Amino acid sequence: MPTGYAPATSWRKAARRSAPTPWATPLSPVSACRSRHAPPRLPLILRRPAGHRLRHRAGQPDSAALVRRLLTLSTENAFKRIVGIDGVTGEFAAELKLGQLLTSVVGQASSDTVLSMLRSIGLFKAAQSMLSQAAAFTTRQLAPFVRKRIDQIDIQDAAALLRDGDDSATRYLERSINQDLAQQIKPLVIDFVRKAQQTEDISQFTAFLGERLSTTFATIIAEKMTGALGGALFNAIAREEKALRANPARILDTALAKALARR
C-alpha cells in the first residue's frame, strides 16, 4: 500500500466523523483519507439550506404585493357597497349629482317651463333613474378592468404607500389608471343610454329636448358622466382603504393585517 494513504475502510470512517452537521460541506473520499495525515484545517463555514431565501420570500410577501392586496380588497368592498338593485347608492350616488347633470342637459334646449313639465309628469324622475342604472351598469363593467390594472401597474416606493396611511394607495392607483379608466367609461355609458332611449319613458323625455339634442343625448350624457363617475369611484375605493387601515384586525389576510398594524 502506498505511503500516506489509508485503507478504504478508513476513509469511510473519516467521512462519517467529519460530517457532524447536515449543513457542513461534506468531505470527498480523497480529502477524508488525507485528513488523517494533513495539518488541522480551518472550521467549515456553515451554509444555509438550499431554498432558504425562497421560503422566506414565499412566507413574507414584498411591499408591492401587499399594496396590491390592499387595493384589491378596497376595490372589492367598494364595488359591493356602491351598486344596488335599482342603481348606484349612498355617497357614490350623491357625488354623481345626477339630478344636476340632467337639469344642465335639459337646459341646453328647453325652457324652465319644459323642465317643470317634465318633472310634473314623472319623465324627469324616470330619466334620472335611468342615469343611476347607467352608472351602476358601467361600474359593474369596470370592475374586472380595475382589478386587472391593479395586478399590472408598476408600484413605486410601495413601502411608503403602506406607511403613509389614509388613502395613499388609492390615489396612486388613480394617478396611474385615471386616463385609461375614462376611456372605458364613455362608450359604456353611451351604449346603455342609447338602448334606454328605445324605451317609452326615455323616448318621450328626449322628444321634449328637440331633434338635435335627442340625437346627441347619449354622447352628451356620457361626456358629463365620465369625469364624475371616475372620481366618485376612486373616492369610494379610498373610503374602503381608510376603513381597512383604521381597523386592520378585521382583515382576513394575515400578512396584510400585520403590515398595516406595524405602520
- How confident is residue 263, by pLDDT bands cut at 50, 70 and 90? low
pLDDT of residue 4: 52
pLDDT of residue 107: 86
| pLDDT tens for each residue of 45-75 | 334 444 433 333 455 678 999 999 999 999 9
Secondary structure of residue 47 in the 3-state scheme? coil
Provide mean pLDDT across the span 103-130: 88
Provide mean pLDDT across the span 215-231: 95
Provide mean pLDDT across the span 169-180: 96
pLDDT of residue 79: 95
Cell readout for 104 is 344642465
- The CA distance from 6 to 178, in Å, is 76
pTM of the predicted structure, to 2 decimals: 0.74
The type of residue at 61 is P
Contact assessment for residue 236 and residue 142, using Cβ atoms and an 8 Å cutoff: no
- The CA distance from 83 to 195, in Å, is 20
Cell readout for 135 is 352608472
**Residues in Cβ contact with 215 at an 8 Å cutoff, skipping those fewer than 6 apart:** none
Cell readout for 95 is 357625488
Half-sphere exposure of 166 toward its Cβ, with a 13 Å CA cutoff? 5
Q: Which range has the top average pLDDT, 13-27, 148-162, 192-206?
A: 192-206
- The CA distance from 223 to 235, in Å, is 19
- The CA distance from 130 to 224, in Å, is 15
Q: 36 pLDDT exceeds 90?
A: no
- The CA distance from 80 to 157, in Å, is 29
- How confident is residue 7, by pLDDT bands cut at 50, 70 and 90? low
- The CA distance from 248 to 254, in Å, is 9
- Residue 141 burial by CB count (10 A; 0-12/13-18/19+): exposed, middle or buried? middle
- How confident is residue 249, by pLDDT bands cut at 50, 70 and 90? confident
- The CA distance from 187 to 165, in Å, is 35
Provide mean pLDDT across the span 98-108: 91
| Torsions phi, psi for 19 (to 5 deg) | -120, 70
- The CA distance from 82 to 17, in Å, is 70
- Residue 152 burial by CB count (10 A; 0-12/13-18/19+): exposed, middle or buried? exposed
